[in-house]
Homo-oligomer: A and B are copies of this chain.
């Protein structure tokens, strides 16, 4: 089996699997806030995990808030920032994940003005458009909310440039880093982000775990009420097992990230070989800097879902788009924002891996796709 839907959900990393299976059997379990030594042991484990996660994300320990994942993190950021400001403008992009889109809609209904920055055809946000909106609304910007890397295209956004501008002008910058962290290099302190988010299940940790990174933790108000856990910033008994798996997964990524260049080359070679074989193949965002492990591509006029099903019969698992919009055989919002036509938009498949990807995976997918596109193209034209 070749599992190539890591952007949708990453299977637990082998190190996490090994750690967790032993952890589950051996125990112990206790409330990390309990007074007894078992509780203190869990509490110490949690802080050890926090230290490791902080180190691997370039953050300070008190900037790490453990939670249930990115959707909660995103909601938390919006809740905390927008309930503590008199400013009323949010600058965002047209290629954000549904969680950000929904958050924007909710706060729009509460009276906030949402400005959506244009997207370039290559999949990055248009910096000229961003700068112009930024200048025109500077005194009223409650938050800039621009993702770091897109979940569908893998296109890396100019978050560093956005961050610098925000930082210089003391504007709060939240970046949805769900697809960025654990797939490429990241250093929170260097990022100029005020908030960033991690979903455990996107980086090989256990599903239901996550991190909210907060530059100024004192400014954060809780979304989830509770008994003072996470320094009063996130109620509920901490998911200490989840936090432990986050530490293991990020540590593993840190050890494997030396492969990123090699992986990037491998993926580019795979894409080029396909493009050379079929003139009708389009790799979305190939003019932009993308995540090393992510390919979104289409064969013009051949439906993505047909290809996905054919690949699956070869024991290769890809998606047509993001999990959230998979069931709609429409061109996705993200691709529409890029100005991509339906003939391509409906044809996309997404191939996404982790840092463990090997040449043989790409070879097998190439061979399968060569066969599938040759066959489907024949059906199409005949």
Chain A interface residues (CB < 8 Å from chain B): 3, 5, 8-12, 17, 20-21, 24-25, 27-31, 33-39, 67-72, 74-75, 78, 97-100, 102-103, 106, 199, 201, 206-209, 222-229, 235-242, 305, 308, 312, 317-320, 322-327
- 18 new A-B contacts, CB < 8 A, other than A8-B30, A207-B240, are A5-B30, A5-B31, A10-B29, A17-B24, A33-B323, A34-B323, A35-B327, A39-B326, A68-B208, A68-B224, A68-B236, A71-B225, A75-B235, A99-B226, A102-B222, A201-B237, A207-B239, A207-B241
Show 20 residue pairs from A and B whose CB-CB distance is below 8 angstroms, ordered by the A residue: A3-B30, A5-B36, A8-B30, A11-B28, A24-B24, A29-B201, A34-B326, A35-B320, A36-B318, A39-B319, A68-B68, A71-B225, A71-B235, A72-B72, A98-B227, A207-B238, A208-B239, A208-B242, A223-B223, A228-B324
Q: How far is the CA of A153 from the CA of B134 in the complex (A)?
A: 56
Which residues from chain B contact A68 at a C-beta distance below 8 Å? 67-68, 72, 208, 224, 236, 239
* Copies of this chain present: 2
Which residues from chain B contact A317 at a C-beta distance below 8 Å? 30, 36-38
Q: How far is the CA of A69 from the CA of B69 in the complex (A)?
A: 13
A36, A318, A319: residue with the most chain B Cβ atoms closer than 10 Å: A36
Closest B residue to A106 by beta carbon equals: B225
Closest B residue to A234 by beta carbon equals: B71
Which residues from chain B contact A35 at a C-beta distance below 8 Å? 305, 308, 319-320, 323, 326-327
Asked whether B237 lies within 8 Å of A199 as measured between CB atoms, the reply is: yes
Which residues from chain B contact A326 at a C-beta distance below 8 Å? 33-35, 39
CB distance from A86 to the nearest CB of B (A): 16
* Known contacts A227-B98, A312-B37, A326-B35; A9 and B21 CB within 8 A of each other: no
Asked whether B237 lies within 8 Å of A207 as measured between CB atoms, the reply is: yes
CB distance from A353 to the nearest CB of B (A): 14
Asked whether A29 lies within 8 Å of B8 as measured between CB atoms, the reply is: no
CB distance from A305 to the nearest CB of B (A): 7
Q: How far is the CA of A31 from the CA of B200 in the complex (A)?
A: 12
Asked whether A29 lies within 8 Å of B5 as measured between CB atoms, the reply is: no
Which residues from chain B contact A323 at a C-beta distance below 8 Å? 31, 33-35, 39, 227, 237
CB distance from A154 to the nearest CB of B (A): 16
* Known contacts A227-B98, A227-B323, A235-B102; A21 and B25 CB within 8 A of each other: yes
A12, A37, A237: residue with the most chain B Cβ atoms closer than 10 Å: A237
Which residues from chain B contact A24 at a C-beta distance below 8 Å? 12, 17, 20-21, 24
Which residues from chain B contact A229 at a C-beta distance below 8 Å? 324
Which residues from chain B contact A9 at a C-beta distance below 8 Å? 29-31, 34, 39, 237
Q: How far is the CA of A11 from the CA of B78 in the complex (A)?
A: 34
User: Which of B75, B208, B308, B318 interacts with A209 by CB under 8 Å?
Assistant: B208
Which residues from chain B contact A206 at a C-beta distance below 8 Å? 208, 241
Q: How far is the CA of A133 from the CA of B239 in the complex (A)?
A: 38
Which residues from chain B contact A106 at a C-beta distance below 8 Å? 225
Closest B residue to A28 by beta carbon equals: B11
